[in-house]
Every structure is written in C-alpha cells, then in structure tokens.
Chains A and B, each alone.
Chain A
C-alpha cells in the first residue's frame, strides 16, 4: 500500500516535470498563437519567474523547515546573484544604450567616461558566474560564522538576517557604489549574443530554469536523506541534544546557510534576464517575508511544499494586484495568518489533515450512532 503510494507520487512528479520541461515550451514554440493549445510568451516568462521564486523558497525552507533557522536574508543572496548576472548583461548592451557610449548609461550619467576597474572582468560570463558563487557564499560564510559561533538563535537570528538584508539594500541604493543606485540595472539587450526580446531566448532561459530547479530539488533531496540531513533536523528539534552528542552544531548550521545562500543566488541569476530588471528594492523587507509565506503556505519541512507555495501565492498575487491593487499586502497577511492557524503543515499537509478530521468525524458518528451495537464497536479496536 505504502509502496504503491510512493510510485504514484513519483509518477505525478514526473508528469509535472514533463509538463513544465517539455509540454509548455513545445506548446509555446510549435502552436499557432490563435490555437487553443497555444501557451503565450507571457505565460512562459511568468512561469520562468515563478520557478526562480520556487528556488528561493527552497533555500528558505532548507533553513527554516529543515534546520529551524528562520532566515530573512535570502532576498539579499538572491539579489546579489541577480546583480552579478545584471553586470554581465549590462556589459552586453555595448554601445546600444541611450548615450551610445561603450559603458552603461548610468555611469555616463554619473560623469564617467571609461569603465571602472571592477566592472571590466564582467565582460566575461564565466567571471560573473564565479562572482555569483563567491560573493553570496563569502558573505553567508562570514555572517554565518559570526552568528552561529555566538549561538544566535530563533528570533534574534531572524532579526539579524533582516538587518543584513536591509543594510545591503541601503548600500545598493547609493550611487557611489557604481551599481546603478535605486534604478539598478535594466534595458538589457543580449545574452550570449541572443536577443533577450526574442521568444526563443526567453524559452531557452525558461528551460534552463526548469533544469536548475530540478537540480536544486534533487540535490536537496539527496542532502536531506544523508546523515547530515538527519543531523539538520535533529538540530531543529533538540539542538542541546546534538551539542551534547559531540556535534559542533555551528559547523552544520554554517554549511546549510552557505548552501542556501548559493541556491538563492542561483535563483537570482536566472531571474534577472527573464524579468529584465534588478534593483535594490528586491531586498526590501516585504520580499523576504513573502518568501517565508510561500514556504508556510506550501508546507515547510518538505521540498514540494516551497515550490507549490511559490506558485500558488504568486498566482494569487498576479490576480490580486490586477483585481485589487491596494489590497495585496492585506491578502498576503491574511493568507499567512489563516495558514499558520488552520493549516500548520501547509498545502502538502492538507490530505493528511483532512484524513484526520474525517477519521475523527467518522469515529464520533460511529460511537453516537451505534447505541445498541456495543459489541460492534469492539470490532475496529480488535482489528487494530
């Protein structure tokens, strides 16, 4: 029975994967726009964005759901990855900017006539990607080392990661950082010589994002099944016991924190060319909190949950920001409260929860309804 259920689950996951990886891009590429089966460029682009959010949600869940560390700093690592990609894309604009200069427009505006030294290596995509690993990785390493060594836990950890994100946000707002200030980067033209406005390019980016999410998913699946994963959850449930069993928990937390930062950064890297803009507002407080809501809605402590949550909540957001533009944050807050109170295990935990409710209702009916049949009520107890 259990095994059959597991097969069903694997089958469903493969079907979903085939839908996103093969069906959607093919329906976008090979059907006429008038066809009922056609998937629009807009949809592909939108789903590409959601898939990036799903990766960001997994990075939140790896810390929150699996290790008991509610990080509000994932938006910071996401944005850092996005900026690294953004710097490469800015260089690919070449002289096609408003000022037709060989340097990004905002630098011309700031009075620069040649490229600042730290910008130069970003002509290379490989270098930009190296920095998308090194920068968030190093920041997470340093911050995590200090925080975990000092045994900063619980709400203090959340506040500190929020502060880190806010500090980075303020820093990136400054024009003197030479990263575009509050406007950030936009007006990208090319990636690897492909025009970003072409549907093929966007489709390619979309497929790359599906594959990246699949990779992250499989990696996390492996990680959480190792002894390391077991220790992670042990830290979440009883950190003292782990400490007093000889494990330096700080090292384990640091490792997860760095891994999660890299996943968030990867999400940012793929997000920027699909959305076409990156600026410091990605590090605003509500962005980090939104990612936490995705995880809570989907179901924390699972890997499917964050993906599901990212899609459901963002779909809700797309609808709400069109139908009731001013009400979105109220919707978001209400959703979070309702889910926390009534669905503590999120959408993923809903079947088990409903089954429990049903079983209890059923049992009650049976005991109240079966007045004369006292012997009958003994049956289920015996067959246990």
Chain B
C-alpha cells in the first residue's frame, strides 16, 4: 500500500517511541480509510495503548508522521485540541462523571463551544435535548436519563462513555477494550452498537476477546512489539503462522 495517491483519515508513518530505552512503538505504519471499522489486536505490551496515546496527544512520538483528516499534523497538538478536531477516545476503564446524571454527562460531551465564557452563559436548548435523547436511544439508556452515572452498572457506564463519544460527533473514534468486564450478552450488544456506527464514523477498536473480535472484525491489524505484524481479514490473520506464534498460539486460542 502506498500513501502517495490515496487520502486517509488517519495516517501513521514510521512512528517511534521509547520509554527509558524500551521501544514501545517501533517503526509503526498504519493507514485508516474514512468510515472504516478497524480492529487492533496484540498481546500485552504490544503498544496498542501507546499508539492511542500518540494519536490523542497524550504522548509525543520520538519520530515519525502522525496525520489526521488528510494533512493535519497531530504531533504538535495537545489532547483537547486534538479532540476538537474530531477524534474521540474511550478509555479502557469507564471514565464518566459519577456525580452527574446521565443527561448531564452527555450534555457536557455534546459537540459545541468549549470555552470558559461559553460555559458560563450557555443554556440547554431544545435542540440539544433532542440530540441527547437520540444518543440515549442509541446506547439504550433512555430510562436512566436522570440517574447519577455513579449508580450505573459497569456495562452501562461503558455504554454511557461510548454515548459521550458519540455526542461529540467525532470523525474518528478510538475505543480501548469496550467489552472489558462485560457479560456475554452485554458484549454482544456492544458489538452491535459499534457495527451500527460503521460508515458514520471511522472507528478503531482495540480488543482482547476473540469472540468479540470475530463479531465486529472487518479488517484486523495485529500489533507486536510496537510494530504491525500483519493485517487482513480475521480468518487470514488467525491462520497466519507469525500471529499464531506470538499471540494466538501462546494464548492457546484456536
């Protein structure tokens, strides 16, 4: 694949990052098409979360190119600025505002002005209410609108956080282990939710659970030691000898 004649929503080329001599990301190159749903797997320490940190501005890469929306250089921007460009990130452990209601959680996430003055003098419009209701519908928490986020179950918190991402109307969604700690049923629902977003947003999902990966996977990228080991359809990836060796084989999964 070449980047020269094609435009990608996200482009990482030759990215490197070391922590105290440990190469977390090693010459990583990855391209994402607009509207693509991409699943990234890899053993612990493969650099999956570090990659997300680099994309979202939490960590600066030592070298390499990180570009979004065709030509915006992400390496010089901080987290809020990158988020405002349209990149939303869901953390592995659900991070919602536990002392706010579900409604307020979404209200604070809705796309709109992010300044101090705007926050001081803004009022909730009926249009915003409608948008929040639509998100609540999507994540299946309509009945929990006025409950404190802290009182939700673990799975519901994960969905709420996904809803908070959707409220931001991002172009690119980065979702780190959305099914962690969920029951089988919740996991399946989460998978359906992500699939329903395909095409509307570009999505990167990082996941460990292979059943879940099989449910949602279109194109799978396998990371190993901070480097792309192989890329392709889920069956092709699972049958790849190198993948079996470093990841699937070692985990005793078929």
Q: What residues of chain A have their CB less than 8 Å away from a CB belonging to chain B?
A: 223, 226-228, 230-231, 233-234, 237-238, 240-249, 251-252, 255
Contacts and interface: CB of A to CB of B under 8 A. Distances in A.
A227 B119 contact: yes
A240 B107 contact: no
Contacts of B3: none
Interface stretch (B67-75, B95-103, B132-140): B95-103
A246 B120 contact: no
B116 A230 contact: no
Nearest to A247: B114
B22 interface: no
A226 B119 contact: yes
B54 to A, nearest CB: 14
Contacts of A249: 80
Contacts, number: 75
A226 B108 CA distance: 11
A230 B107 contact: yes
Given A234-B100, A246-B83, A247-B114, A241 B119 contact: no
A244 to B, nearest CB: 5
Q: Which of B56, B84, B95, B96 has the most CB of A within 10 A?
A: B95
By size class, the interface of chain B is 20 to 34
Closest 5 CB pairs of A and B: A246-B83, A228-B119, A246-B84, A241-B95, A234-B97
30 contacts: A226-B119, A226-B120, A226-B121, A227-B107, A227-B119, A227-B120, A227-B122, A228-B119, A230-B104, A233-B97, A233-B99, A234-B108, A237-B97, A237-B98, A237-B99, A240-B91, A241-B91, A241-B96, A243-B83, A244-B79, A244-B91, A245-B83, A245-B108, A245-B168, A246-B80, A246-B114, A248-B80, A248-B114, A251-B116, A252-B116
Nearest to B124: A227
A244 B116 contact: no
B88 interface: yes
Nearest to B85: A246
Interface of B: 56, 78-81, 83-84, 88-89, 91, 95-100, 104, 107-109, 114-116, 119-122, 161, 164, 168
Contacts of B79: 243-244
Contacts of A243: 79-80, 83
SS class, residues of chain A in contact with chain B = helix
Nearest to B88: A244
Given A227-B122, A228-B120, A245-B164, 9 more contacts: A230-B107, A231-B108, A233-B97, A233-B99, A234-B100, A238-B97, A246-B80, A247-B114, A248-B78
Contacts of A227: 107-108, 119-120, 122
A238 B161 CA distance: 12
B173 to A, nearest CB: 12
Nearest to A236: B99
B59 to A, nearest CB: 13
Contacts of A252: 116, 119
A143 to B, nearest CB: 18
A157 to B, nearest CB: 19
Contacts of A233: 97, 99-100
A237 B164 CA distance: 15
A247 B84 CA distance: 8
Contacts of A231: 108, 119
Contacts of B122: 226-227
Contacts of B161: 241
A248 B104 CA distance: 19
Contacts of B107: 227, 230
Contacts of A226: 119-122
Contacts of B80: 243-249
B49 to A, nearest CB: 13
Contact of A244 (B89, B104, B115): B89
B109 A238 contact: no
A246 B80 CA distance: 4
Q: Which of A223, A240, A243 has the most CB of B within 10 A?
A: A243
B217 to A, nearest CB: 25
Contacts of A238: 95-98
Contacts of B116: 228, 251-252, 255
Nearest to A233: B99
A223 B117 CA distance: 12
A226 B123 CA distance: 8
B97 A251 contact: no
A246 B104 CA distance: 16
A244 B83 contact: yes
B168 A246 contact: yes
A40 B79 CA distance: 58
B119 A245 contact: no
A283 to B, nearest CB: 29
Given A230-B104, A252-B119, A245 B109 contact: yes
A321 to B, nearest CB: 37
Contacts of B84: 246
Nearest to A256: B116
A231 B78 CA distance: 19
